[in-house]
Amino acid sequence: MFVNFSMYKFFLWLLKLGSFINLYFFVQTVKSPLKFMDPHLLIPAQILFIVSAYRCFFPVSYVTNAVLHNSFLSSVFLTRFLATFVEVAYIYQFSYLIRLINSDQIPLVDVLSWLMVVQVIASQCFVWGAILTQKQTFYFYEELGWGVIFSTNTVVSAILYVALGNLGTWKLLLELNLLFGVLYLPWQFFHLKALRSRAKYQKINEDMHTDISWSMLKKGLFKSIQVKNLTTHPEAWGGVIGMMWMIGYWATLIPAWLYLIIRTV
């Protein structure tokens, strides 16, 4: 789908509305009754709301170092540093919810829920590897990890949905897990194909066989902190796929999902 410069610039500025959505959710979590919620569910949601509000206001693209504002807050390094905690925290929340619903009834479900946390930590290593080395293959393996995480979340939710008796309030949350899996996993398949093609293109057109060295890592670190590509060019932001990802992850779907979890439990 073709998206011109003016449309994308409008979208990036409109994304700031997501900051207010996230801040609204956060304010609700510091008031009764949500402030008394189980901290294993509450704290990951609060972390995500705050960092997502920041990312909506100061968006960046890791691959191209694209920024909307030439500010020290528009930094690949700072954004990724914060996002690392967010992603581990909210996947931990999902895994904890699975164990809460399971109540030690099916041991395999508990094991798979912890594997989700292990996988999200591995994905953080891959994305940092991509940023510091500029090797696109690492982005592919990062996103492959997310496919594994949500495949696992979908499978264990299906097991619990079928195996458990009276689900009560858990029923809606398990149905949301299943719905997300049905919608996200096919999209992620095509996303992975695009990332694979980009990695192969880089391997053909650049020297991708060089060993990873301290010099390379220092150069990547400097670039992640200092380099800011002030642009609204759609290709620099991932085009329509990038637009969908930013809207869903930072501004709408994921924040609303975590808020629904803490409202429902």
Q: What is the pLDDT of residues 98-117, one digit of tens each?
A: 999 999 999 999 999 999 99
How far apart (Å, rounded) are the C-alpha atoms in residues 102 and 124? 27
Q: What pLDDT does residue 2 have?
A: 57
Here the tokens at position 111 are 């094991």
How far apart (Å, rounded) are the C-alpha atoms in residues 26 and 242? 25
Residue 198 pLDDT grade (very low, low, confident, very high; cuts 50, 70, 90): confident
Residue 190 pLDDT grade (very low, low, confident, very high; cuts 50, 70, 90): confident
The whole-number average pLDDT for the span 23-45 is 97
Residue 195 pLDDT grade (very low, low, confident, very high; cuts 50, 70, 90): confident
pLDDT at 1 over 70: no
Range of lowest pLDDT (55-64, 157-166, 190-199, 205-214) = 205-214
Q: What pLDDT does residue 204 have?
A: 56
CA distances 64 to 131, 211, 238, Å, are: 10, 22, 9
Residues of the chain with pLDDT > 70: what percent? 95
The whole-number average pLDDT for the span 175-191 is 93
**190 close to 198: Cβ distance less than 8 angstroms:** no
**140 close to 194: Cβ distance less than 8 angstroms:** no
Q: What pLDDT does residue 5 have?
A: 80
Closest by alpha carbon to 260, among 52, 50, 37? 37
pLDDT at 207 over 70: no
13's CB contacts (< 8 A; 6+ apart) are 68
Here the tokens at position 29 are 């979590």
SS3 193: helix
CA distances 103 to 18, 98, 125, 167, 170, Å, are: 35, 9, 31, 12, 12
Q: How many Cα neighbours within 13 Å face the side chain of 116?
A: 29
How far apart (Å, rounded) are the C-alpha atoms in residues 8 and 233? 7
Q: What pLDDT does residue 145 have?
A: 96
Here the tokens at position 33 are 């009754």
Residue 211 pLDDT grade (very low, low, confident, very high; cuts 50, 70, 90): confident
**95 close to 116: Cβ distance less than 8 angstroms:** yes
Residues of the chain with pLDDT > 90: what percent? 80
Length of the chain: 265
The whole-number average pLDDT for the span 54-68 is 96
Please report which helix (H) or strand (E) contains residue 97, including its range.
helix 76-102
pTM higher than 0.85: yes
The whole-number average pLDDT for the span 257-261 is 96
